[in-house]
């Protein structure tokens, strides 16, 4: 059926608005990248907009030499990799039983879990619990709180429910128990959803900020997000850069180093997303729609 003039006009306006919104989101990132790659005089003059002027990697060199960005980056990697592994394991162990019709009381357990999306214990009780468990100044405090996301668990449960029951019945006839059914049948069929949930958890752990400020006391355990925030707010890290470069002619500015730090924090997630993009929409939609 051929689209009417009104429908074509509607689609055209939508495309224009979406393209404009995408550009508005992209422009600040491009500006930061240009600042981080521009020379000192160009940054100080304020002429840098969307393209580097007097291209230079000096901001990145001084960021690596004069700040603990490498240590913070490695902290981020540890927090994210172990956090995603733990969260995926426990979310799967929660979602799979709740997706089985033979599991007694699954409706009431699901309602109890969903209740936590509406009402939570609060910051002070949570801090006291973490303290009593001895997890203050430990990454365990971050992993414990982010162990299971109710939203992600519900998506995973719905995905498992949408897998045809005939596959489960055939597997059981071949002698599969629950563990073998989960590992050999359910998980291999759920790769789009698993990739999507892993991306959600990865972004959550990589960008951890508030919990790190609250529960991590040792500066050497800070992640990139907190380190970059401190660098943007104060001049302490920039003073360290000046000490490292004592006697040298610096071709960098504080703004350039800050922009370089922000780019180092953003680039890993931008690099991972294209590999998971093909699973993203499929995983969310199949896990969210019953039928």
pLDDT tens digits for 258-285? Answer: 888 888 888 888 888 877 776 665 555 5
Instruction: Give residue 254's pLDDT.
Output: 77
Q: Which residue has the tokens 């989101």?
A: 25
Regions of the chain short of the pLDDT cut 50 = 287-291
Instruction: Give residue 248's pLDDT.
Output: 55
CA 152, 124, 221: angle at the middle one, nearest 5?
70
Burial of 271 (0-12, 13-18, 19+ CB in 10 A): exposed
Instruction: Give residue 287's pLDDT.
Output: 46
Instruction: Give residue 288's pLDDT.
Output: 47
pTM as predicted: 0.82
Total H helices, total E strands in the chain: 16, 0
Q: What is the helix (H) or strand (E) element at residue 68, kind and residue range? A: none
- What does the block give as tokens for 131? 């303290």
Instruction: Give residue 228's pLDDT.
Output: 84
Instruction: Give residue 240's pLDDT.
Output: 60
Instruction: Give residue 1's pLDDT.
Output: 63
Nearest to 283 by CA among 183, 201, 184: 201
Is there a contact between 99 and 42 (Cβ–Cβ < 8 Å)?
Answer: no
Residue 128 region, left (φ>0) first, then alpha (ψ -120 to 50), else beta? alpha
Rounded Cα distance between 151 and 122, Å, is: 19
CA distances from 240 to 173, 194, 195, 218, 234 (A): 67, 42, 40, 18, 12
Rounded Cα distance between 165 and 159, Å, is: 12
């Amino acid at each position: 059926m051929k689209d009417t003039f009104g429908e074509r006009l509607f689609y055209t306006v939508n495309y224009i608005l979406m393209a404009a919104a995408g550009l508005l989101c992209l422009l600040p990132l491009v500006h930061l990248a240009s600042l981080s790659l521009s020379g000192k005089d160009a940054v100080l003059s304020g002429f840098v907009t969307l393209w580097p002027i007097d291209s230079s990697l000096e901001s990145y060199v001084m960021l690596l030499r004069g700040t603990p960005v490498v240590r913070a980056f490695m902290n981020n990697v540890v927090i994210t990799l172990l956090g995603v592994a733990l969260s995926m394991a426990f979310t799967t162990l929660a979602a799979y039983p709740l997706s089985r019709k033979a599991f007694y009381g699954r409706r009431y357990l699901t309602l109890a879990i969903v209740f936590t999306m509406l009402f939570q214990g609060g910051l002070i009780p949570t801090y006291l619990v973490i303290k009593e468990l001895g997890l203050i100044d430990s990454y365990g405090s971050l992993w414990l709180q982010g162990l299971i996301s109710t939203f992600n668990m519900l998506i995973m449960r719905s995905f498992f429910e949408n897998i045809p029951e005939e596959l489960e019945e055939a597997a059981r006839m071949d002698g599969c128990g629950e563990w073998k059914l989960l590992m050999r049948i359910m998980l291999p069929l759920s790769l789009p959803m698993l990739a999507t949930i892993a991306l959600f958890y990865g972004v959550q752990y990589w960008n951890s900020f508030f919990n790190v400020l609250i529960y991590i006391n040792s500066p050497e355990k800070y992640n990139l997000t907190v380190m970059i925030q401190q660098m943007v707010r104060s001049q302490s890290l920039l003073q360290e850069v000046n000490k490292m470069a004592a006697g040298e002619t610096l071709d960098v500015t504080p703004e350039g180093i800050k922009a370089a730090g922000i780019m180092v924090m953003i680039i890993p997630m931008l690099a991972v997303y294209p590999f998971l993009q093909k699973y993203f929409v499929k995983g969310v939609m199949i896990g969210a729609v019953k039928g």
